[in-house]
């Protein structure tokens, strides 16, 4: 029986790296994306050329009805889900007093409720098999907070709390829940931001590659992490210790 992984936000920088890493490790990967159809198609084509399976499906994790329907379709084909990686997200750099209620709601809806909806949709199949792995991609700002990213930091902090609480709830059923907390990563989301000052504070002296975050995700999804749950694995070059 093939191993099935679902990656939300699978066409983004870290998400795409997770898709490639999981596919290379032998998973059949269902890539959920919202906007970047071209990148999603490229990932599918790459996998096909290498004899692997990556299936792309458009899904807005901010829409509960879409999430439920998408996971119903996934399970109708594959029957089970071994790994769920919640990578969908969006950034907002803005002064706290200028951040609107609508912007707060959007960030919380995508980061927190998007992960919760996806986990809720995947869990019944995991519970019926008594196994499964859910991994959140959060951020160091969820641990430390970031000036001018208050709403983003709060959303990522909530995601860490969600990870720890859900891990306790589903561990007796054989399901593990963990998070990966990246620092500064060389992705399209960050390329328009001046990283000079932040780079000077990173002990390893460079940004992370998306592939390095993906390897942490792959580790948590692997049998090597079979006794790890409720953890936040930091991938930040020593910036947060």
Catalytic residue ranges: 152
Domain ranges of the chain: 4-235
pLDDT above 70 (res 191): no
Backbone φ and ψ for 211, nearest 5 degrees, come out as: -65, -30
Pick the closest to residue 222 from 19, 9, 27, 11 (CA basis).
27
Residue % of the chain over a pLDDT of 70: 98
CATH classification (class only), 4-235: alpha beta
Half-sphere exposure at residue 240, Cβ-oriented, CA atoms within 13 angstroms: 17
| β pairing state of 54-58 and 175-182 | unpaired
Global pTM reads 0.95
DSSP 215: H
Instruction: State the pLDDT confidence band at 200, using cuts at 50, 70 and 90.
Output: confident
Please give the sequence-ordered ranges of beta strands (E in DSSP) within the chain, or none if there are none: 4-8, 28-33, 54-58, 83-86, 132-137, 175-182, 232-235
| pLDDT tens string 30-52 | 999 999 999 999 999 999 999 99
Confidence at residue 148, expressed as pLDDT on a 0 to 100 scale: 95
Residues 212-226 as b or e (16 or more Cβ within 10 Å = b) = bbbbbbbbbbeeebe
End-to-end CA distance of the chain: 40
d(C-alpha 79, C-alpha 4), whole Å: 9
Confidence at residue 189, expressed as pLDDT on a 0 to 100 scale: 64
């Amino acid at each position: 029986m093939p191993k099935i992984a679902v990656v939300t936000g699978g066409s983004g920088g870290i998400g795409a790296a997770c898709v490639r890493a999981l596919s290379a490790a032998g998973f059949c990967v269902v890539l959920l994306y919202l906007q970047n159809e071209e990148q999603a198609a490229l990932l599918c084509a790459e996998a096909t050329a290498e004899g692997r399976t990556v299936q792309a499906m458009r899904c807005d994790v901010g829409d509960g009805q879409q999430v439920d329907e998408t996971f119903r379709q996934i399970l109708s084909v594959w029957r089970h889900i071994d790994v769920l990686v919640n990578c969908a997200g969006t950034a907002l750099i803005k002064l706290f007093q200028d951040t609107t209620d609508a912007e707060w709601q959007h960030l919380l809806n995508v980061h927190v409720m998007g992960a919760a909806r996806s986990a809720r949709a995947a869990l019944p199949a995991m519970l019926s098999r008594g196994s499964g792995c859910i991994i959140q991609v959060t951020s160091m700002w969820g641990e430390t907070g970031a000036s001018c990213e208050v709403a983003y930091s709060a959303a990522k902090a909530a995601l860490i709390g969600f990870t720890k609480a859900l891990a306790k709830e589903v561990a007796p059923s054989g399901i593990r829940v963990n998070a990966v907390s990246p620092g500064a990563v060389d992705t399209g989301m960050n390329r328009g931001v001046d990283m000079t000052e932040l780079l000077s504070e990173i002990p390893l002296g460079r940004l992370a590659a998306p592939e390095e975050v993906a390897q942490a995700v792959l580790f948590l999804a692997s049998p090597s992490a079979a006794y790890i749950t409720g953890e936040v694995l930091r991938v930040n070059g020593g910036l947060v210790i």
